[in-house]
Amino acid sequence: MKSQRAPDRSVKEPRLSRTHPPVHLAPADWQRALRRQFGRDQTFGLENRGDQPFFSEFVVVNPQSKTSYRVAIRGLNAGDNYCSCPDYATNELGTCKHIEFVLARLEKKRGAKTAFAGGGVRRFPSSTCATTAHARCTSAPDRTARRP
């Protein structure tokens, strides 16, 4: 049972309205926070398709809509990660509910703090993933000859 009243002392992040932007947030931040909030409430299925515990390639399955999307996790910041869903492709926020869902799951894992504090293994601009074939984003750690 959820209380109808908003908590006065917001120890955790306050719930956001989907229709009314809060005054203290920029519209883009609000939209990101909404996805974060929504993603964390989901009961999607999660599958790690890579060989890394955190910075890996995942498949997120929505059992209700029977859709699944590929998510690549590279860090905690907006724009670090990639998702193959249409929302991510168009919202220009650098995140979506699937990414937020995966991050929420990963943050509960042992060693998550250390892993994410160290940053992603290989950063890429989200636009790269959208324009190049996704294969590049799902490929294993860079083995192409790139010598200094």
Which residues contact Zn ion by CB under 5 A?
83, 85, 88, 96, 98
In whole angstroms, the minimum distance from the beta carbon of 2 to Zn ion comes to 26
In whole angstroms, the minimum distance from the beta carbon of 89 to Zn ion comes to 9
In whole angstroms, the minimum distance from the beta carbon of 112 to Zn ion comes to 20
CA dist 68 and 90 (Å) reads 17
Residue 40 phi, psi dihedral angles, 5° rounding: -75, -20
Q: Which residue lies nearer to Zn ion by CB, 25 or 59?
A: 59
CA dist 56 and 48 (Å) reads 7
- The residue with tokens 């859709």 is 67
The region, left, alpha or beta by phi > 0 then psi within -120 to 50, assigned to residue 119 is left
Q: Which residue lies nearer to Zn ion by CB, 92 or 142?
A: 92
Q: Which residue lies nearer to Zn ion by CB, 88 or 116?
A: 88
DSSP letter (8 states) at residue 121:
S
CB 101 within 8 A of CB 41: no
Q: Which residue lies nearer to Zn ion by CB, 23 or 62?
A: 62
DSSP letter (8 states) at residue 59:
E
In whole angstroms, the minimum distance from the beta carbon of 1 to Zn ion comes to 30
Query: How many angstroms separate the Cα of 139 from the Cα of each of 23, 25, 86?
Result: 41, 36, 21
In whole angstroms, the minimum distance from the beta carbon of 86 to Zn ion comes to 8
Q: Which residue lies nearer to Zn ion by CB, 116 or 126?
A: 126
